[in-house]
Amino acid sequence: MRYRLTFIAGLALGYVIGTRAGRERYEQLKKSARQFAQNPAVRNTAESAAQSGRDLAGKAYHAVSEKVGEKVPAPVADRVRSLRERGRGRHGEDDWGTSNT
């Protein structure tokens, strides 16, 4: 699925860059993309996928930490711990000042 989306995005980008239809067509495509991204169904699906990814990452973290145990260097363990805590605490903005919603 990931590769399909990447391929489609590449096609769209190539069309926009290579088109000779002019500025009007570009603005029309931009407006369509914005409407698609603001569609509630698309936003809900994206949030659902993100939540599933976070859940799977948490499960993977626990599975790996049980097998690896204390073999992980302290700086790496501290970094992972800080990332997990940061991910739990804030849902409004990321480090770049953009919204995660």
Per-residue pLDDT tens over the stretch 74-96:
787 788 778 777 766 555 555 54
pTM of the model: 0.44
Per-residue pLDDT tens over the stretch 26-65:
788 889 989 988 999 989 998 999 899 888 888 887 787 7
Indicate the SS3 state at residue 99.
strand
Give the separation between CA 76 and CA 22, rounded to whole angstroms. Answer: 50
Q: How far is CA 98 from CA 11, 22, 27, 54, in A?
A: 27, 31, 24, 19
